[in-house]
Structure 1
Amino acid sequence: MGDTSARPFDPVLRQRARARLPLTRADFLLRHACEELAAREALLPPGPEGLVLTLGAGPFTPAGHIAADVAPQRLPGVGLQLLCEEDSLPFGDSALARIRSVMLLHGVNDLPGALVLARRALVSGGRWLAVFPAGMALPQVRAAFLEADMAAGAIAARVGPTVDPAQSAALLQRAGFVEPVAEVVEVRARYPDLATLARDARAMGETGWLARRSRVPMTRGRWAAAEAAFAQGAEADGKVTVTLELLFLSARKP
């Protein structure tokens, strides 16, 4: 199976995290990502007819698409459904006309391998599209935890690594795609405190799956320090604006 020590994410913990809670009120980011991806998709020229695979969209999976996710609890419950990781797609060569990935690729251990598998699974002329967090993801949260950890004398991994958007087009080309397009869009959300943000992140399935996650306990004192550091960014109404960069990618199989 190869050395797994260098993998940044734990697939089992990731699956558990996505299965932990329903999205409910925390589905705003997924909904926004789906809508923005669909808007960009509508501007593309027509492609080949055939099966379309949509990963990670859950209840927002378009009718007629094969819905896929790493956790059954995130599948829409209707239509064709599939459990799989993006770096282990269970399709043969030239099986799909289009592949769409929504808010999942930032948790894939083998991104270059996932791109190669996607390209192989597409028919000639088939299109691959994705949206996922990249670049500067939640710098306000990272800074708050870093300040708390530095005060306690031990730095710990709290937020996962992200893809550099500047390298994304080259990754697509190396995987054998043509016409690569990369676009970064900043998304902002406002929170009254760090605890509310953490609850939303947990409901989104975005917490607790770093392979080398911190073994340093999050004591009450350390959490209070992080909350205080986060609150330093509050605006006049007491809320803190947090930012997330979403990377939209598109490419075609020649």
Structure 2
Amino acid sequence: LDLGCFDGAFVPPPGARVARCDAGFAFAKGSGGVQGDEDRLPFADASFDCVICAGVLDQVNDLPGALTLIRRVLRPDGLFLGAFLGAGSLSALRSALRVAEQERPAARLHPQIEVRSAGDLLMRAGFALPVADVETLNVGYGDVGRLLGDLRGMAATNLLADRRPLGKAALAGLAQAFAAAADDRGRTREKFEIVFLTGWSPDPSQPKPARRGSGTASLTDALKR
């Protein structure tokens, strides 16, 4: 299952059958998939061997519910792979927005998830062998317009239904504050924290953690060698 399939660009391995699902009707139709929210999956339990979800889990209304549903639609020993923007991302843009909107601050970026919290949610959802990791990407931008264009292309702009538009004066202040943080090459470095999630649907054949206290080797002795 390609969950949050966007334009359907994911290329499956040879011989694999792929179902596509996206919350946006246009994306679902264009990729030959079905429309459905990530936290309201329109699939039966134990339908898939693998679920891949890239770039959308940080935007769902009910992330714990979405992870639980993903685990349910996986067959036993099925694999879940996920990736999304995590906490700490877009720090330069956040700082510039605070400067630009000092008198009338507004919510511009949706809340983001820390990697440790993401790992805890995997465990709560019932995944076996859960792993959460993060990779930091630093990208240089010559102006804030380029960054905002990238965010629009990622569908990562403001998701609030009652958001207040950014006026011309605030937009000019944003551009000035963003440019003020530029390096000697005239580029402002923006940070993207990519959280990666891996989890397996439980199955009796999977490795089990050893019983506490069952070890026979001393870590202290090993470190002394």
Q: How would you bin the TM-score normalised by the shorter chain?
A: 0.7 to 0.9
Runs of 4+ in 1 over 6 A off after TM superposition: none
Unaligned 5+ residue runs, structure 1?
Answer: 1-51
What is the CA-CA distance between 1:77 and the residue it aligns to? 4.2
SS at match of 2:118: helix
Match of 1:94 among 5, 22, 46: 46
Question: Which residue in 1 is equivalent to 2:220?
Answer: none
What code does the residue aligned with 1:68 have?
C
Structure 1 segment 121-200 matched on structure 2, within 5 A: 121-150=73-102, 153-200=103-150
User: Which AA in structure 1 matches 2:186?
Assistant: G
User: Is 2:170 the counterpart of 1:222?
Assistant: yes
Q: Secondary structure at the match of 2:185?
A: coil
Q: State the structure with more CA Rg.
A: 2
Structure 1's 143 and 65: CA in aligned 2 closer, same or farther, altered over 3 A?
A: same
Amino acid at match of 1:227: A
Secondary structure in 1 matching 2:136: strand
TM-score by length of 1: 0.73
Give the counterpart letter for 2:48 in structure 1.
Answer: L
Per the TM alignment, residue 110 of structure 1 is displaced from its structure 2 partner at its CA by: 0.2
Indicate which of 200, 205, 209 corresponds to 2:155. 205
Any residues of structure 2 matched to 1:49-68 within 5 Å, and which?
52-56=1-5, 58-63=7-12, 64-68=17-21
Indicate the structure whose relative CO is greater, using CA pairs within 8 Å and at least 6 residues apart: 1
User: CA distance change for structure 1 residues 55 and 177 in 2, over 3 Å: closer, same or farther?
Assistant: same
For the aligned residues, what is the CA RMSD? Answer: 1.8
Q: What is the CA distance between 1:193 and its match in structure 2?
A: 0.7
User: Is 2:22–2:35's contact at 8 Å kept on the other side of the alignment?
Assistant: yes
Q: Report if aligned partners of 1:54, 1:65 keep a CA contact under 8 Å in 2.
A: no
Counterpart Cα distance in 2 of 1:206 and 1:169: 22
Structure 1 residue matching 2:196: 3-state secondary structure: strand
CA shift digits 1:7-60 (9 cap, x unpaired): xxxxxxxxxxxxxxxxxxxxxxxxxxxxxxxxxxxxxxxxxxxxx444335342
Which of these residues, 57, 69, 91, is aligned with residue 117 of structure 1?
69
Cα distance 1:221–1:141, how it changes in 2: closer, same or farther (>3 A)?
Answer: same
2:216 alignment counterpart: none
Is the CA contact 1:67–1:76 (under 8 Å) kept in the aligned structure 2? no
Q: Structure 2 stretches of 5 or more lacking a match?
A: 203-225
CA distance in 1, matches of 2:167, 2:3: 40
**CA apart distance, 1:200:** 2.2
TM (norm. structure 2) is 0.81
Q: Cα deviation per residue 1:155-206 (whole Å; 9 max; x = unaligned)?
A: 1111111011111111111111110001100122221111221122223322
Deviation string, structure 1 residues 185-229 (Cα, Å, up to 9, x no partner): 01222211112211222233222422453x3x4222211111111
Alpha-carbon separation, structure 2, partners of 1:75 and 1:82? 5
Secondary structure in 2 matching 1:92:
coil
Q: Determine the C-alpha separation between the residues in 1 that align with 2:101 and 2:197.
A: 35
Structure 1 residues 166 and 224: CA distance shift in structure 2, 3 A: same
What's the CA shift for 1:149? Answer: 1.1
Report deviation, 1:75: 4.8
Number of positions where the alignment pairs a residue of Structure 1 with one of Structure 2:
198
CA contact (8 A) 2:109 2:158 kept: no
State whether residues 56 and 103 of structure 1, in contact with CA within 8 Å, keep that contact through their aligned partners in structure 2.
no
CA apart distance, 1:137: 1.3
| 183, 189, 210: which one aligns with 1:235 | 183
Question: Is the Cα–Cα contact under 8 Å of residues 106 and 163 in structure 1 kept in the other structure?
Answer: yes
CA contact (8 A) 1:58 1:67 kept: no
